[in-house]
Structure 1
Amino acid sequence: MYRRAFLAAATAAGASLAAPAAAQQRRLGFADVDRMNAKLAAVVSMDDRYGGTPDLEKHAAALAQEALRLQQGNAASTRVRSELYAVAAALTTSAMWAAIDGRRMDTAQAHMHQAVTLAGLAKNPAIQYRVWGHASSLYRQLGRHTDALAAAELARESPIARRDPLYASLALARLAVHYADTGDARSALRTLGKAEESYTRIDPAGQRPPWMRFYDRAELDSLALFTNLRLGRWADAEHRGHQCLARLRPDLHRNRALTHANLALAQIGQGEVEPAVASARAVPAEMASHGRVGKLLGDFTRRLNTLAPKSEPAREWAAHRKALAA
């Protein structure tokens, strides 16, 4: 269902999944930048809604190449070239994030290397912030927690994070997760508190790129949920999970699935077998095997089978998983 919906959304947004046509030689202007940014906004919208599908990854990477091809053999001002490098970097970062979300780590790393180069060419602090933020998530998925911390620190120290409390809050909330991964509870909770405080100082009318619109109170709750889960603070994690679900935009299917899976882990951590299984079963069938969601549900299954393997909820969950795999 989600693949069909993604394809329909891509068509509706005018973002064909076919390879972009080669551009004729001409002088580039800000109309070209605006056109590519509109395609970037459509990619971001589809990722917010459906998550990191292989189709989305390939589409974002193809659009990044389209932005780069525009510059080959065409005249442009320095500012226009910088803007096109920025949108190419942003699209490559979207491809990287889609690969991370789908746990396709080899391609995620290839996208990351290109995104770092393009962000440097763009000389755009916001794009550099995004690249390092996603790089920290990639390193986390790879279990390279020292590298994840270093990348998250680069995002936190970027000029855009110093100027805008919204960027600062996101960088700090991600950093809290990485501290929790290393077992540094004191730093994790202190940093999470700073993220909360920064969020109270944001200007909601501030002008920001489309890829920052995902960060709201629900996302802050989600990152707090991750932090508390990693610290084994099960009750606090469950509380933040419920807050996230209450605030989450209804169109964010992937994020809702992630939150239900994390909520199930928080509940099983407290020995609440029946509510935990109910939360896990709230993940739509179409999302249950998706990248990060599938990994979380696998972790949940192992914990459930360790805690209460012969319970009725465990048998119900096993039957549910078998039906999903059929």
Structure 2
Amino acid sequence: MENIRNVVLEAWMTEHGYSSNSLAEAVNKATEQLSGRPGGHDGSSVRGWKSGRVRWPKSLTRAALEDVTGLSAIALGFVPRGRPAPAPVPPQQQEEDPDMKRRTLVGGLAAAAVSTTAPSSTSTRRIGMSDVSRLNERFAGIVVSDHRHGGQLGIEQEAAALAEEALDLQNAGSATQRVRSGLYASAAAFRSSAMWAAIDGRRYEVAKAHMREAQALAELSGDQTIKFRIWSHAGTMYRHLGRPAEALAANDVARNLHLTRRDPLFASLGLARQGAIHGVEQNRTGARRAIEQAQEAMLRANRADGRPVWMLAFYDQAELDSLALFAYSALGEYPTAEYHAHRCLASLRPHMARSRAIATTRLARAQLAQGAPEAATVTAMKVPAQAATQHARVARMLQEFGIALRATAPATSVVRTWTEHVATWKMTA
């Protein structure tokens, strides 16, 4: 029997912001509540439901799905054995719950689309590298949005949705192994961007969920560049969480990939992030050595073609100086930190708005720590209102700056100036 995609379930997931993995986790929890034993579903289970390969899940799974969604299995587009099409939701149900009415409308529209979106039994679509290239073009847009805005839930959700789209293509037709590997690499790249957006927005538990799926997809792809990105991001996440041992372990996975021996630029990034982690663990010698080695590796790196867009879009001398700024600030070596802050800000590319806000805030903290509250306040006031109020990491850093400023120069005009400026941020954001 031909598989017909369950576009009703897909529409519900899109409307409610569920990925395949997150829906599987929710169903597993609901299964445990119903039966006392956790469910065993994962992202591939949900993709089986969406593709139509599983048209009527087992009774316990259906009950768990109904608990999660508030809809019957039939209303979610599943087809009971022996039935050709889903039955409509009873009218009285729609009248009882306005939210149900909206969901049913979405489901009905999606169900109506089946006849136009179901693949023909007489032809099979051929998925090619052009499909992978189109996904990669959209990935470049995600990277640009991240550098401009950073940490936003919308970026995370868009990246996660595009990861699902890349995986859906795996079931949309025939493809060579090279194309399938490219689709897995694209899905892993999108999922790693969702992971990074969650890290940058301090949504760490969500970031860990994205990380697990990204790691699995990267293994399926065999692409070392995306493996590097995911494990390097994991190291950064644990660094922000103040867990340097785990940060070093994750970063070492990235640094030990063969890729870093082939390309000095990847080696440089791995070393620079290692230096930042050593800063958190107060390893002065290790931090200095890693930053120096990162600089040496960068000088050896050429402008080789073939590097991924995410690497070309962000890692350069400015980012190396930003990581050095973090490391030396963590070590309390504020004059050196200020030196790297000025170097970073002088060479940041125009699109790196998020990085500029972070470096500016860290520069202000370094100046304050050296006994210059007036200069520090002037610096901190240069952070744009949007970054100061809408970027979770920047907002947290500026709150910490304000606390430190009040402790350093209590009841002074500079504190009043800062307080008034923060108020204007809130009004203009």
Instruction: Give your verdict on TM over 0.5.
Output: yes
1:251 matched residue in structure 2? 351
Residue 310 of structure 1 aligns with an amino acid whose one-letter code is: A
Deviations, residues 193-252 of structure 1 (Å, cap 9, x unaligned): 000000100111332110001101111111110111011010011111111111011221
Map 1:140-179 onto structure 2 (within 5 A). Answer: 140-179=239-278
Q: For residues 286 and 131 of structure 1, what CA distance do their matches in structure 2 show?
A: 28
Contact (CA 8 Å) 1:23, 1:69: kept in 2 or not?
no
Contact (CA 8 Å) 1:23, 1:70: kept in 2 or not?
no
Map 1:91-102 onto structure 2 (within 5 A). Answer: 91-102=190-201
Answer yes or no: is 1:45 the counterpart of 2:144. Answer: yes
Deviations, residues 159-212 of structure 1 (Å, cap 9, x unaligned): 111110000000100000001100111001001100000010011133211000
Residue 238 of structure 2 aligns with an amino acid whose one-letter code is: Y
1:10 matched residue in structure 2? none
1:275 matched residue in structure 2? 375
Residue 414 of structure 2 aligns with an amino acid whose one-letter code is: P
Residue 231 of structure 2 aligns with an amino acid whose one-letter code is: W
CA shift for structure 1 position 46: 1.4
Contact (CA 8 Å) 1:173, 1:224: kept in 2 or not?
yes
Map 1:220-259 onto structure 2 (within 5 A). Answer: 220-259=320-359
1:87 matched residue in structure 2? 186
Moved more, 55-64 or 307-316: 307-316
Map 1:303-318 onto structure 2 (within 5 A). Answer: 303-318=404-419
Residue 249 of structure 2 aligns with an amino acid whose one-letter code is: A
The equivalent position to 1:190 in structure 2, one of 289, 308, 312, is 289
1:123 matched residue in structure 2? 222
Q: For residues 23 and 131 of structure 1, what CA distance do their matches in structure 2 show?
A: 35
C-alpha RMSD of the superposition? 1.7
CA shift for structure 1 position 128: 0.5
2:169 matched residue in structure 1? 70
CA shift for structure 1 position 323: 3.0
Contact (CA 8 Å) 2:189, 2:226: kept in 1 or not?
yes
Normalization by structure 2: what TM-score? 0.70
1:34 matched residue in structure 2? 133
2:25 matched residue in structure 1? none
CA shift for structure 1 position 282: 0.4
Q: For residues 416 and 303 of structure 2, what CA distance do their matches in structure 1 show?
A: 47
Q: For residues 118 and 254 of structure 2, what CA distance do their matches in structure 1 show?
A: 34
1:200 matched residue in structure 2? 299
Q: For residues 304 and 235 of structure 2, what CA distance do their matches in structure 1 show?
A: 28
SS of the aligned residue for 1:200 comes to helix
2:400 matched residue in structure 1? 299
Deviations, residues 255-286 of structure 1 (Å, cap 9, x unaligned): 11111101011111101101100111000011
Deviations, residues 57-106 of structure 1 (Å, cap 9, x unaligned): 11111000000000025211111111110010000000111111111112
SS of the aligned residue for 1:288 comes to helix
Larger Rg: 2
Q: For residues 159 and 36 of structure 1, what CA distance do their matches in structure 2 show?
A: 26
Residue 201 of structure 1 aligns with an amino acid whose one-letter code is: R
Answer yes or no: is 1:109 the counterpart of 2:109. Answer: no
Misfit runs of 4+, over 4 Å? 21-25
Residue 306 of structure 1 aligns with an amino acid whose one-letter code is: A
Normalization by structure 1: what TM-score? 0.91
Residue 321 of structure 1 aligns with an amino acid whose one-letter code is: V
SS of the aligned residue for 1:317 comes to helix
Residue 233 of structure 1 aligns with an amino acid whose one-letter code is: E
Gaps of 5+ in 1: 1-16
Residue 300 of structure 1 aligns with an amino acid whose one-letter code is: F
Q: For residues 156 and 388 of structure 2, what CA distance do their matches in structure 1 show?
A: 19
Percent identical pairs in the alignment equals 46
Gaps of 5+ in 2: 1-16, 20-112
Residue 219 of structure 1 aligns with an amino acid whose one-letter code is: E
Contact (CA 8 Å) 2:147, 2:354: kept in 1 or not?
yes
CA shift for structure 1 position 146: 1.0
Q: For residues 136 and 240 of structure 1, what CA distance do their matches in structure 2 show?
A: 22
Q: How many residues align?
A: 308
Residue 209 of structure 1 aligns with an amino acid whose one-letter code is: P
Deviations, residues 23-56 of structure 1 (Å, cap 9, x unaligned): 9551211111111111111111111222121111
Deviations, residues 115-160 of structure 1 (Å, cap 9, x unaligned): 0111111111111000001111111222222111111111111111
Q: For residues 310 and 67 of structure 1, what CA distance do their matches in structure 2 show?
A: 56
Contact (CA 8 Å) 1:89, 1:118: kept in 2 or not?
yes
Answer yes or no: is 1:322 the counterpart of 2:423. Answer: yes
